[in-house]
Structure 1
Amino acid sequence: MNSVGEIWTWGANSHGQLGLDVTSEQIEKPTKVARETFDDIKHIACGGAHSLLLDSNGKLFSCGWNSKKQLGHKTEVYTFSRIWELSGINFINIACGWDFSCGVTDDNFLFVWGSNSHGQLGLPKHHFGDCIAPFRLQVNVCAISMGLRHTAMINSKGEVWTTGCGRHGQLGLGEDITSSDRFQRVPKLTKISHIACGQNHTVGWSSEEKALYVWGDNKHGQLLLSSQEYRKIFVPQKIDINIKKDVKKLLSGWTNVLLWLQDGSLLTWGRNNKAQLGTDAAFTGKIFNIKLPDNRSIEDVALGSEHTICLATDKTLWAWGWNEHANTGLPCTEEVIHCPTQVKLETNLKINFIFAGGATNFVITDNQKECN
């Protein structure tokens, strides 16, 4: 996923996590980011108040909050700055938790850094402490996700391994293991193709089985089980949601989950107090099929903690959910955007890629081709 062009960003910016060389409570409309030091953009990951950028040459850059060394820098920086401690290493993937970060190398090793307060980096606390500079783990990683205080990864065998806080069951290791400071294999899970961490839950998808697996906090029905009967799930439960299509993306916000299917369908469920599900419906435990206006088809989708942005195939941009910090790019006079609403950029350049996390967003446009 390479892209040439401009970066536009908006949302919370309390620690300069938008890369605009300024700190502010929020950036209320899509604003262009100056870019000088990196090449084409492959991926942007967003944490609680920090951001990572991976360019097409495998180099890493970061900006924002640095209280736990989550930037890989010695101090906070407010523009995307090269993580020189990781120079000379070719990265292919990145992820952020609340105040911790990781990068996956081209030989599928994992580097972790930032907060290890709950063992979420997979490093023994008695030896490494709470704040970690970039450190390489001898693990095989094909996919990885980070939540509030836990991490889950998939290896080349399709096994799931987790580490960190498990008080709500989000590690999937059983009621007797409510924390871990090293990666442990989640029993009985094989052939998992997609993984996503929420605030205190984890969800996985098996493309081979066409099956959803869920574990962790279920207070808001984010695991599709009765929240009265199943408040916490400590071992993975297989949920039959009758999906026969391939899955393009499995994503999670703090307390909501989204499946983007090969046929273009967007299925979502979980908490809806901030219209995270793109509907006014107040109840939980039900799957909603989100539709863009005029039956537009979907090209990409990205989730923040409690908001969603979505790119249609006609290159229009849509958003819904929590809007307290102008997270959606729409006027912050409305704290909640209840249904998919179009977001305007002050450019006629075509949008290629979108990224979101926390209360922040990044959009990459194409310099070479204008919209019709």
Structure 2
Amino acid sequence: MFTLWSWGANSHGQLGLDVINEQIQEPTRLSTDCIDSIKQIACGGGHTLLLDNDGRLYSCGWNTKKQLALEHEVYKFQRVWSLSGVKFTNVACGWDFSCGVTDDNFLFVWGSNSHGQLGLPKEHFSEATKPIRLQVNACTVSMGLRHTAIINSKGEVWITGCGKHGQLGLGKDVQFSDRFQKVPVLKSITHVSCGQNHTVAWSSDEKALYVWGDNKHGQLLLNPEKYKKIYKPEKIDIDVRKKVKKLVSGWTNVLLWLEDGQILTWGRNNYGQLGTENPFEGNIIHVQLPDKRQVRDVVLGSEHTICLADDNTLWAWGWNEHSNTGTKSGELVLCPTLIPVDIQIKVEKIFSGGAHNFMLSS
């Protein structure tokens, strides 16, 4: 048996609690009678996708652009029957758009296509698009505010959407695309992550970070005074020789989690996104949990972080205006702070995005 909990912003019913309100301040139990298991949860600006172990899709929350793949807005998880014949392996959410990778490595997209972020020609597809299968090879996917990136089976990155800040990586002349295009130079890419207006990728062969897009807050690890925007992938040697477990982005910050347990963060720190009280000065911040706890998992919202430690405790830092962190602290949580959770609960998985979070326990 499992139990699903949620907390944070709930203005569109994205927490699946069958109510709409400004926020839920602490982890609150959901009714999951219709769901047998949970593999993944993806969170958008105000909507949520849930994937079970059999590849079945559920959704709830904001639906103005049909980002739920349902006809109406719902406030508790509902099965997406229109995709009942499809088995998904992973899903992702952008601000008001969504996608899923199938077990045969095709990509379904739906929701807003206002900036071509679904990889569909704008002249034929409206801003509110029902699920469509694209003829593109995809293994994993990431979505930002208005752009989408996929990694295919060759380790290549293909990208679509808004590129005004260089986030497409296709050069200064390509500031918009409504078709997936191959990002040049990149190879053996194992991780890709879209932020608000930037993109980062990790090459396992080169053990190198590639960055492009907006660098206003140093989220590309380059001097923002000299490099405000990067229009093609720039290789950054950050002297990491360990295997990368996760590379994830908030709106304007980036986090790298390594196999030896290290958490490296950089970018904007106006809300404590980097887990430190020190202002960001272009260097990488090494975040450590209190009392030498080790990291079991870590997830990012738009401007906050949730971390699961090896002793079954939950920690959070960053923006907390909508109780995003669940710490009962003020609007800013500047360093790893304990989330009050019943110690008898065994936390299995954590998920986050936008300003809301989910926790799976057994």
8 Å contact kept, 1:205–1:211: yes
Q: How does 1:254-293 map to 2 (within 5 A)?
A: 254-293=251-290
Query: Cα offset for 1:130?
Result: 1.6
* Among 109, 112, 116, the residue aligned to 1:115: 112
Percent identity reads 66
- Residue 69 of structure 2 is aligned to residue 72 of structure 1: yes
Query: Cα offset for 1:164?
Result: 0.3
Q: Please give the alpha-carbon distance, in whole angstroms, between the structure 1 residues aligned to 2:273 and 2:18.
A: 30
Q: How does 1:237-316 map to 2 (within 5 A)?
A: 237-316=234-313
Query: Cα offset for 1:347?
Result: 6.1
SS of 2:123's partner is helix
Q: Deviations over 1:25-81 (max 9, x none)?
A: 000111001111111100000000000000011100000000100000111000000
8 Å contact kept, 1:165–1:178: yes
Q: Please give the alpha-carbon distance, in whole angstroms, between the structure 2 residues aligned to 1:25 and 1:130.
A: 26
Higher mean C-alpha deviation, range 125-134 or range 304-313: 125-134
Match of 1:370 in 2: none
Q: How does 1:1-372 map to 2 (within 5 A)?
A: 4-331=1-328, 334-346=330-342, 348-366=344-362
Task: Structure 1 unaligned segments of length 5 or more: list them.
Answer: 367-372
8 Å contact kept, 2:253–2:274: yes
8 Å contact kept, 1:272–1:284: no
Q: Please give the alpha-carbon distance, in whole angstroms, between the structure 2 residues aligned to 1:91 and 1:354.
A: 19
8 Å contact kept, 2:297–2:308: yes
SS of 2:189's partner is coil
Q: Please give the alpha-carbon distance, in whole angstroms, between the structure 2 residues aligned to 1:346 and 1:243.
A: 36
Query: Cα offset for 1:345?
Result: 1.9
8 Å contact kept, 2:69–2:80: yes
The one-letter amino acid of 1:164's match is: G
8 Å contact kept, 2:217–2:224: yes
Q: Please give the alpha-carbon distance, in whole angstroms, between the structure 2 residues aligned to 1:15 and 1:326.
A: 15
Q: Please give the alpha-carbon distance, in whole angstroms, between the structure 2 residues aligned to 1:85 and 1:139.
A: 21
Report the TM-score when normalising by structure 1.
0.96
8 Å contact kept, 2:313–2:341: no
Q: After the TM superposition, which segments of 4 or more aligned residues of structure 1 sit over 2 Å from their partners? A: none
Q: Please give the alpha-carbon distance, in whole angstroms, between the structure 1 residues aligned to 2:85 and 2:149.
A: 26
Q: Deviations over 1:233-264 (max 9, x none)?
A: 00000001000000000000000000000100
Higher mean C-alpha deviation, range 34-43 or range 14-23: 34-43
SS of 2:130's partner is strand
SS of 1:125's partner is coil
8 Å contact kept, 1:212–1:238: yes
SS of 1:294's partner is helix
Aligned length: 362
Task: Structure 2 unaligned segments of length 5 or more: list them.
Answer: none
Q: Please give the alpha-carbon distance, in whole angstroms, between the structure 2 residues aligned to 1:270 and 1:258.
A: 9
Q: Please give the alpha-carbon distance, in whole angstroms, between the structure 1 residues aligned to 2:100 and 2:139.
A: 11
The one-letter amino acid of 2:190's match is: S
SS of 1:301's partner is strand
